[in-house]
Amino acid sequence: MKSLGISDFSEQEVEKIDETIGIYKSSKLLGTGSIAGNVLKYIGVCNEDTVPGSSFNTIVSELINKLAQKGIFHVFVFTKRKYEKSFQYIGFNELAYSKKGAILESGAANIETYLSHVPRVTNQVHKTVAAIVMNANPFTKGHRYLVERAARENDLVYVFVVNNDVSLFSTSERFKLVTRGVADLKNVIVVDGGSYMVSYLTFPSYFLPDKEDKIKYQTTIDARIFRNKIASELNIKKRYIGTEPFSKTTGIYNKVLKDELPPRVTVVEAARQKDDTGSVITATKVRKMIAANNVKAICNFVPQTTYKFIEDNFAELHARIERGININGN
């Protein structure tokens, strides 16, 4: 590797790798590739003395088979656009690209499968359909207001709940809280955001702080997947977002959404809701109140359904905080 001038892997890049493989001819390295979770990484081959592409295909096959042994059949890769073709030849499909790179996926459970499981209503192509993507960690009155408003202004609203288990409330808990919190709104469908909306895969800096240009790249990819694959398929014409006064990442994300989604999808930005005393409602504050044992104050911020859940599970939530789960993120 060093003879080819490839030596600048940072600690952050290397620590997430689960496995690395290499092809050798006597002691010379001809090709290598790695896996981290369900993502193929750092694939490099030397085409000297071989049929172009053959080492590449060998490496990728081996990585896919290694993942299959672990029960992972849905594989992603991020790559520069000039290498995209090589992956497309072996069955990968592009999800989105930006100037910096593209994301492709391969396997049985692809985005078409995901979308085919999203519930539809009759005559959806003639309805006005809106979408909201939320982490709802936990579901607050602010979220409720946003959904209510979208439900009033549209025939159908999809609420996509971010799928990740790296924060205080688990995916299934957050999903349950959103479903209960909007149960009375008949034109709202709550859907699991899967791997495609603000996921740990496409948008890791939502969960881990990162540099601005990285956030821009990731949010652009996220916005384009939403625009090109999801909104078009479900006839979504509007996306509702809340203004972001605090988080830098969400602030950039909102700006990128406004740049990328129109004209196909209109972005509707609603002002943040305040509680009776005039302080802005955020889920971050709610998590901090839980940490500070301030249960009473929470009821100003969250609907009854969420409040009841927090009350019932207070000990467990507190135990998670004590085990050191991050409550400061998004």
Partner 1 sequence: MEIKRTAIAGTLESSDIQIMLSKGTEGIQVTLKSDVEKQFGDQIRKVITSVLKSFNIENAKVTAVDKGALDCVIKARTITASQRALEIADSPEWEVL
Residues forming contacts to partner 1 in the complex (CB under 8 A) are 51, 54, 57-58, 60-62, 64-65, 68, 71, 73, 89-91, 107-109, 113
Closest separation between CB of residue 201 and partner 1, Å? 19
| Structure tokens, 51 | 């049929």
d(CA 280, CA 152): 23
Rounded to 10°, the helix 248-260/212-225 angle is: 40
C-beta closer to partner 1: residue 63 or 129? 63
| Sheet (strand 19-25) strand order | 19-25, 28-36, 39-45, 74-79, 101-107, 93-98
Cβ at position 66, least distance to partner 1 in Å: 11
- Minimum gap (Å) between residue 239 Cβ and partner 1: 30
CA end-to-end span of the chain: 38
Nearer to partner 1 by Cβ, of 87 and 160: the residue is 87
CB of 58 to partner 1, least distance (A): 6
Residue closer to partner 1 by CB (options 12, 69) is: 69
Nearer CB in complex with partner 1: 105/244: 105
Amino acid identity, residue 327? I
Given the complex with partner 1, which of 47 and 113 has the nearer CB atom?
113
The conformational region for residue 142 under phi > 0 = left, psi -120 to 50 = alpha, else beta, is alpha
Residue given tokens 């930005």 in the structure block: 269
| 22 neighbors 32 (Cβ within 8 angstroms) | yes
CB of 294 to partner 1, least distance (A): 46
Nearer to partner 1, 16 or 70 (CB): 70
Please tell me the distance from the alpha carbon of residue 272 to that of residue 143, in angstroms, as a whole number.
Answer: 9
Q: State in angstroms the smallest separation of the CB of 120 from partner 1.
A: 16
Burial of 230 (0-12, 13-18, 19+ CB in 10 A): buried
Question: Based on CB atoms, which residue is closest to partner 1, 60 or 96?
Answer: 60
Q: How far is the CB of 51 from partner 1 (least distance, A)?
A: 8
Helix axes 304-312, 314-322, angle to 10 degrees: 70
CB of 22 to partner 1, least distance (A): 17
How far lies 146's CA from each of 112, 132, 180, 241, 320, in Å?
28, 8, 15, 8, 29
Shortest gap between Cβ of 60 and partner 1 (angstroms)?
Answer: 6
88 vs 266, which CB is nearer to partner 1?
A: 88
Half-sphere exposure of 7 (CA within 13 A, CB side): 4
Nearer to partner 1, 112 or 153 (CB): 112
